[in-house]
Amino acid sequence: MAVVAAVLLLLGFAALVFFLVGKAESAGEGTWSRFVYLFGAAEALVFTAVGWLFGREVHRQAAQNAEVRADQATTRAESAINVAADQEAKGRALKAAVEARARLLPGQSGVEERGIGTDEPPADDVRQLAEFARTLFPNR
Protein backbone atom coordinates (compact mmCIF):
# COMPACT_ATOMS: atom_id res chain seq x y z
CA MET A 1 0.00 0.00 0.00
CA ALA A 2 2.77 2.43 0.90
CA VAL A 3 4.66 1.56 -2.28
CA VAL A 4 1.56 2.37 -4.32
CA ALA A 5 1.23 5.72 -2.53
CA ALA A 6 4.90 6.52 -3.22
CA VAL A 7 4.53 5.63 -6.90
CA LEU A 8 1.36 7.75 -7.17
CA LEU A 9 3.23 10.67 -5.58
CA LEU A 10 5.99 10.29 -8.17
CA LEU A 11 3.48 10.23 -11.03
CA GLY A 12 1.64 13.24 -9.60
CA PHE A 13 4.91 15.13 -9.24
CA ALA A 14 5.80 14.39 -12.86
CA ALA A 15 2.37 15.67 -13.93
CA LEU A 16 2.87 18.82 -11.83
CA VAL A 17 6.26 19.46 -13.43
CA PHE A 18 4.78 19.13 -16.93
CA PHE A 19 1.89 21.41 -15.93
CA LEU A 20 4.29 24.05 -14.57
CA VAL A 21 6.48 23.88 -17.67
CA GLY A 22 3.37 24.44 -19.79
CA LYS A 23 2.30 27.44 -17.68
CA ALA A 24 5.78 29.00 -17.48
CA GLU A 25 5.21 31.52 -20.27
CA SER A 26 1.55 32.35 -19.70
CA ALA A 27 1.36 32.65 -15.88
CA GLY A 28 1.59 36.03 -14.20
CA GLU A 29 3.95 36.91 -11.35
CA GLY A 30 1.40 36.24 -8.57
CA THR A 31 0.23 33.00 -10.12
CA TRP A 32 3.77 31.85 -10.71
CA SER A 33 4.77 32.46 -7.06
CA ARG A 34 1.78 30.31 -5.96
CA PHE A 35 2.94 27.59 -8.34
CA VAL A 36 6.42 27.75 -6.81
CA TYR A 37 4.97 27.26 -3.30
CA LEU A 38 2.88 24.36 -4.56
CA PHE A 39 5.94 22.88 -6.28
CA GLY A 40 8.02 23.17 -3.07
CA ALA A 41 5.41 21.31 -1.02
CA ALA A 42 5.01 18.60 -3.66
CA GLU A 43 8.78 18.31 -4.00
CA ALA A 44 9.16 17.69 -0.26
CA LEU A 45 6.53 14.94 -0.33
CA VAL A 46 8.00 13.28 -3.40
CA PHE A 47 11.57 13.37 -2.13
CA THR A 48 10.36 11.83 1.12
CA ALA A 49 8.60 9.08 -0.82
CA VAL A 50 11.63 8.40 -3.03
CA GLY A 51 13.90 8.35 0.02
CA TRP A 52 11.56 5.89 1.68
CA LEU A 53 11.49 3.65 -1.40
CA PHE A 54 15.26 3.49 -1.74
CA GLY A 55 15.94 3.51 1.99
CA ARG A 56 13.52 0.67 2.56
CA GLU A 57 15.53 -1.65 0.33
CA VAL A 58 18.83 -0.62 1.88
CA HIS A 59 17.52 -1.05 5.41
CA ARG A 60 15.86 -4.34 4.58
CA GLN A 61 19.20 -5.75 3.40
CA ALA A 62 20.97 -4.33 6.45
CA ALA A 63 18.33 -5.84 8.73
CA GLN A 64 18.65 -9.24 7.04
CA ASN A 65 22.44 -9.10 7.38
CA ALA A 66 22.12 -8.15 11.04
CA GLU A 67 19.73 -11.03 11.62
CA VAL A 68 22.15 -13.50 10.01
CA ARG A 69 25.01 -12.17 12.16
CA ALA A 70 22.84 -12.42 15.27
CA ASP A 71 21.96 -16.03 14.45
CA GLN A 72 25.64 -16.85 13.94
CA ALA A 73 26.56 -15.17 17.22
CA THR A 74 23.85 -17.13 19.02
CA THR A 75 25.14 -20.38 17.56
CA ARG A 76 28.71 -19.54 18.61
CA ALA A 77 27.54 -18.59 22.10
CA GLU A 78 25.62 -21.85 22.50
CA SER A 79 28.67 -23.78 21.32
CA ALA A 80 30.90 -21.91 23.78
CA ILE A 81 28.47 -22.66 26.61
CA ASN A 82 28.55 -26.36 25.74
CA VAL A 83 32.36 -26.39 25.61
CA ALA A 84 32.54 -24.55 28.94
CA ALA A 85 30.14 -27.02 30.56
CA ASP A 86 32.19 -29.93 29.20
CA GLN A 87 35.43 -28.42 30.51
CA GLU A 88 33.82 -27.78 33.89
CA ALA A 89 32.71 -31.42 34.10
CA LYS A 90 36.21 -32.59 33.23
CA GLY A 91 37.72 -30.27 35.84
CA ARG A 92 35.33 -31.56 38.50
CA ALA A 93 36.21 -35.16 37.59
CA LEU A 94 39.92 -34.39 37.86
CA LYS A 95 39.36 -32.68 41.21
CA ALA A 96 37.45 -35.70 42.53
CA ALA A 97 40.21 -38.05 41.37
CA VAL A 98 42.93 -35.95 42.98
CA GLU A 99 40.97 -35.69 46.22
CA ALA A 100 40.38 -39.46 46.24
CA ARG A 101 44.11 -40.11 45.76
CA ALA A 102 44.94 -37.53 48.41
CA ARG A 103 42.86 -39.45 50.93
CA LEU A 104 45.09 -42.46 50.29
CA LEU A 105 48.31 -40.59 51.11
CA PRO A 106 50.49 -41.77 54.01
CA GLY A 107 49.55 -40.41 57.38
CA GLN A 108 45.82 -40.66 56.83
CA SER A 109 44.08 -42.73 59.46
CA GLY A 110 42.75 -46.12 58.43
CA VAL A 111 44.84 -46.26 55.27
CA GLU A 112 47.78 -48.51 54.62
CA GLU A 113 50.87 -46.37 54.31
CA ARG A 114 52.57 -46.75 50.99
CA GLY A 115 55.85 -45.17 50.12
CA ILE A 116 57.08 -45.29 53.71
CA GLY A 117 59.86 -42.86 54.42
CA THR A 118 58.80 -40.29 51.84
CA ASP A 119 56.40 -37.35 51.93
CA GLU A 120 55.39 -37.79 48.31
CA PRO A 121 52.69 -40.13 47.06
CA PRO A 122 53.83 -43.24 45.25
CA ALA A 123 54.91 -42.58 41.67
CA ASP A 124 52.27 -44.94 40.31
CA ASP A 125 49.47 -42.81 41.80
CA VAL A 126 50.95 -39.64 40.35
CA ARG A 127 51.32 -41.28 36.94
CA GLN A 128 47.69 -42.42 37.05
CA LEU A 129 46.53 -38.90 37.90
CA ALA A 130 48.69 -37.40 35.15
CA GLU A 131 47.27 -39.87 32.62
CA PHE A 132 43.74 -39.06 33.77
CA ALA A 133 44.43 -35.33 33.40
CA ARG A 134 45.85 -35.88 29.89
CA THR A 135 42.73 -37.85 28.98
CA LEU A 136 40.46 -35.06 30.18
CA PHE A 137 42.51 -32.21 28.72
CA PRO A 138 44.35 -33.42 25.62
CA ASN A 139 46.81 -31.07 23.92
CA ARG A 140 45.19 -29.27 21.03
- 52-78 residue pLDDT tens: 877 777 788 888 899 999 999 999 999
Q: Tell whether the model's pLDDT for residue 38 goes beyond 90.
A: no
In a domain, 21, yes or no: yes
Could you tell me which of 55, 63, 52 has the C-alpha nearest to residue 7?
Answer: 52
Mean pLDDT of 115-129: 66
In a domain, 113, yes or no: no
What confidence tier does 110 reach under pLDDT thresholds 50, 70, 90?
Answer: very low
Structural domains of the chain, count = 1
Range of the domain at 59: 2-105+118-136
In a domain, 70, yes or no: yes
Cβ atoms of residues 77 and 83 within 8 Å:
no
Whole-prediction pTM value?
0.44
Q: Tell whether the model's pLDDT for residue 79 goes beyond 80.
A: yes
In a domain, 112, yes or no: no
In a domain, 92, yes or no: yes
